[in-house]
Chains A and B, each alone.
Chain A
Amino acid sequence: MCATRNAYRWVGSRPVRPDGLEKVTGAAKYGADFTLPGALYGKVLRSPHAHARILSIDTERAAALPGVKAVITGADLPDHPFEYSGPERLALNFWHITRNILAREKALYEGHAVAAVAATSASIARRALALIEVDYEPLPHVIDVERAMAKDAPLLFEDMFTRGVEPPPTEPSNISKRVCFEMGDVKAGFADADEIVERHFRTAPVHQAYIEPQACLAQWQGGKGEIWTSSQGHFAVRNLTARLTGMTIGDLKVNPAEIGGGFGGKTVVYLEPVALVLSRLSGHPVRMSMSREEVFKATGPTSGASMTIKIGVCRDGTMRAAEAILRYQSGAFPGSPVMNGCMCAFAPYSIANQRTIGYDVVSNRPKAAAYRAPGSPISAFAVESTIDIAAKTIGMDPLEFRRLNAARIGTRMVYGPQLAHGGYVETIDALRDHPGYQAPLGPNQGRGVASGYWFNGGGDSGATVSVNADGTLTIATGSPDIGGTRASMAIMAAETLGIDYHRIRSEVADTQTVPYCHVTGGSRVTYATGLAVIDACKKVIDDMRARAALLRDVDVERVAWENGHAVPAVDAAGGKIAEFEPLSFQEIAAKFSATGGPIAATGTVNAGGQAPGFSTQFCDVEVDPETGRVSILRFVAAQDAGRAIHPSYVEGQIQGGVVQGIGWALNEEYIYDEASGTMSNPGFLDYRVPVSSDVPMIEPIVVEVPNPNHPYGVKGVGEVSICPPMAAIANAVADAVGRRMQELPMSPPRILHALNHRQDPEL
């Protein structure tokens, strides 16, 4: 459902997706579909230990096996100095990254890559792995975040001293970093409050659970490299792989495959540097792909966390003070999204006195990777649950409570600036007006509300547009199409140029063909790459006006562009300042050669002024008191999109985020065998993502509060929908059965335990 209508011809329409036919017929090519003559099969040897010192690796017997063409270890990749670079949130440290690609001194988690082979068949490659002799010295491991923070915890890095603490600590620990954001007088704010609610929460690490495992093909030839891979950013793959393999960026070409889901998890590399080095050493192309077990054990889930939330509220409903202490697992190397968690935790609210403290904690798990609004859903679960308790404590409707305290334009954020864009209140109002919000509930049924915030992204993007002789248009960008951006690019181009959407072909091109594009992530592509496309289209319009002036023998200043035609310009009074027969886009395209050669333009931007996304959702659940199963009866999600370029894709993003949130809330978790530190459920039979029968039709409400910094009002839409569901469901469960679930997932055993071990109703 779209809340508003607009005056555009193409923006807001719902044309058939341009990549749909290939995807439903199986013709689309994903990472594992690419091959070359003579391609070898690459396989990775992984650590069976959660934590072990690598005393030696003997590859001699494996290399001697007939059919084996190359065997590598970490020593075959260049080492890097220990230094953090890039933004503090990311704090890339290539000393860490190269050790995650292939372990060196230590194996830091079960599944950690230790060596790799390339062979003429997959079975020979597997036999070769069995011949590699690794001498491990097993070490004590730590999996849980709170245990990892304890003073007597086994250390992953004996020389890791917590950053962000003054004075710097003198003892090493697994806490890699502490961050703190604060504003106002938190102590005085709590003193002013009539009621204080303080609770402790835990979330489990969950995987992005993309359907397509990591897969690539790499070829080293003539001192240059070429890769075909499925990723959220082939430019990012190129830059990371070039750095990790010690080559120049310009010598590496990366071709984008279609992507079978990423959700943040495919913004980093695992296989590509390994495949490229194997190709260089063997002289053959090398194909690699992960099994599902490898995906779970060796690629980034998002963090599990332990959180303490405290909110001070007055009886009039205003929140006077808030504090969040967030402890996020980063996996085996530093770099959890805890800073985002701190910045987003209370962002939907106007609270004058706030403090958010975050700890980034390493443990013997795979390195965490981004997952849809990285960090924000985790803190949102804890904060939005606590807010529900606060509203109930003072007897206020949870939507009214949120509306009373809602952040608006000018609200000061804990990370410093004032909020420059609205949209949150409108999502609350969309739910207040929904008939389901007041619908009666049955026995063991409950209703829960929650909200979420995400920054949305801008940054570097480029695009080229080329006009063809028949008046069709080709758009090429470097942004992999994950959420329908081929269509949204074409729609914005059609709107800008005034031509038929169906005459535009929108492509994702390789790194040597189009300008740099940052990853498809952060809900940035429709905004940032869209601005690059619009910029290029405006250049085409200028060029076509000049060519029309040539064809009509008038000065270019006398030619305007209107609805896909070069027309006589008008003066301030609206009178024509030239007389000539208009020329259509198609007519000018047909004359491209005589008027100066091919018509094409490149647009490049570093897009700023992106507007944040807000989502508010409510759900109805029913709890089975005998089994502990939670059934989702209804789920309504309102989200501010700025402007929905293709509303069906926006609705799909909302529904997808909610479904992933339902899985995070009810079932998904990494289950570890405590004694060995190994994962017990590395497959979709035991790691349970929601299936169609688990969820009702998610009802999306697209709220449109346009972003004035974009010609069509675009904000990002891909991520914020995953922030509220976990708390909305927990709040609904509390409403249904009077049990406050403070640990995810709310699986049947946990629900049953809560029902059977407490007698008093909880808020």
Chain B
Amino acid sequence: MSVRVVLSTGTGLERTGGCKEFEIEARTMRELVRKMDQRFPGLGAWLEEETAVAINGEIHDTVHFQPLPENAEVFFLPKIEAG
């Protein structure tokens, strides 16, 4: 199951050498983050701690349990401050 992954501004581009778009085989956010971490060691923990994620536009914290639909579009975003 392939999903399109995009790192937005402020979400770790310096850890991927500036590469911002990926195609990843993953069924859950846990699997996606683990595979991103395999490709760029240390990125996974950073994504979990410091980003939110939009899965087909729906915004969530970057949590393990979130399922990924087939051909999902996954954007990592800066977490938003509460006011």
B49 and A86 contacting across the interface, CB-CB below 8 Å = yes
Contact flag A88-B82 (CB < 8 Å), given A420-B58, A458-B59, A458-B61: no
Q: Which residue of B lies closest to A265 (CB)?
A: B83
The CA-CA distance from A181 to B81 in the complex, in Å, is 18
The CA-CA distance from A89 to B58 in the complex, in Å, is 19
A398 within 8 A of B: no
B54 within 8 A of A: yes
Contact flag A709-B81 (CB < 8 Å), given A181-B9, A416-B75: no
A419 and B50 contacting across the interface, CB-CB below 8 Å = no
| 8 A Cβ contacts from B40-83 to A | 49-52, 54, 56-61, 63, 66, 73, 75, 77-83
Q: Which residues of B contact A524 (CB under 8 A)?
A: 82
Q: Distance in Å from the Cβ of B61 to the closest Cβ of chain A?
A: 5
B79 and A90 contacting across the interface, CB-CB below 8 Å = yes
| 8 A Cβ contacts from B6-28 to A | 6, 8-11
Q: Which residues of A contact B8 (CB under 8 A)?
A: 181, 415-416
A608 and B66 contacting across the interface, CB-CB below 8 Å = yes
Q: Which residue of B lies closest to A612 (CB)?
A: B59
A89 and B82 contacting across the interface, CB-CB below 8 Å = no
A88 and B78 contacting across the interface, CB-CB below 8 Å = yes
Most buried by A among B56, B78, B80: B80
The CA-CA distance from A522 to B52 in the complex, in Å, is 14
A417 and B83 contacting across the interface, CB-CB below 8 Å = no
B9 and A340 contacting across the interface, CB-CB below 8 Å = no
A264 and B58 contacting across the interface, CB-CB below 8 Å = no
Most buried by A among B54, B59, B79: B59
Q: Which residues of B contact A455 (CB under 8 A)?
A: 59, 80
Q: Which residue of A lies closest to B50 (CB)?
A: A87
| 8 A Cβ contacts from A325-344 to B | 337, 339-340, 343
Q: Which residues of B contact A373 (CB under 8 A)?
A: 83
Contact flag A522-B81 (CB < 8 Å), given A87-B51, A416-B8, A417-B73: yes
The CA-CA distance from A264 to B81 in the complex, in Å, is 9
Q: Which residues of A contact B50 (CB under 8 A)?
A: 85-88
A709 and B51 contacting across the interface, CB-CB below 8 Å = no
Most buried by B among A179, A370, A459, A518: A459
Q: Distance in Å from the Cβ of B12 to the closest Cβ of chain A?
A: 9
Interface size class of A (residues with CB under 8 A): 35 or more
A609 and B10 contacting across the interface, CB-CB below 8 Å = no
B56 and A418 contacting across the interface, CB-CB below 8 Å = yes
Interface size class of B (residues with CB under 8 A): 20 to 34
Q: Which residues of B contact A421 (CB under 8 A)?
A: 57
Q: Which residue of B lies closest to A180 (CB)?
A: B9
A267 within 8 A of B: yes
Q: Which residues of A contact B80 (CB under 8 A)?
A: 89, 340, 343, 455, 457, 522
Q: Which residue of B lies closest to A374 (CB)?
A: B83
The CA-CA distance from A89 to B10 in the complex, in Å, is 8
Q: Distance in Å from the Cβ of A603 to the closest Cβ of chain B?
A: 15
The CA-CA distance from A7 to B58 in the complex, in Å, is 27
A712 within 8 A of B: no
Q: Which residue of A lies closest to B64 (CB)?
A: A606
The CA-CA distance from A457 to B49 in the complex, in Å, is 17
A87 and B79 contacting across the interface, CB-CB below 8 Å = yes
The CA-CA distance from A552 to B20 in the complex, in Å, is 60
A602 within 8 A of B: no
Q: Which residues of B contact A267 (CB under 8 A)?
A: 82-83
Q: Which residues of A contact B81 (CB under 8 A)?
A: 89-90, 337, 340, 370, 374-375, 522
The CA-CA distance from A58 to B51 in the complex, in Å, is 44
The CA-CA distance from A608 to B52 in the complex, in Å, is 10
- Measuring CB to CB, which residues of chain A are less than 8 angstroms from any residue of chain B? 85-90, 164, 179-181, 232, 263-264, 267, 337, 339-340, 343, 370-375, 415-421, 455, 457-460, 518-519, 521-522, 524, 606, 608-610, 709, 719
- Measuring CB to CB, which residues of chain B are less than 8 angstroms from any residue of chain A? 6, 8-11, 49-52, 54, 56-61, 63, 66, 73, 75, 77-83
Known pairs A417-B75, A608-B58 / 20 extra A-B pairs, C-beta < 8 Å: A85-B49, A87-B79, A89-B79, A89-B81, A90-B81, A179-B9, A179-B10, A267-B83, A343-B78, A370-B82, A374-B81, A416-B8, A416-B75, A417-B73, A418-B73, A420-B54, A455-B59, A457-B80, A458-B60, A519-B82
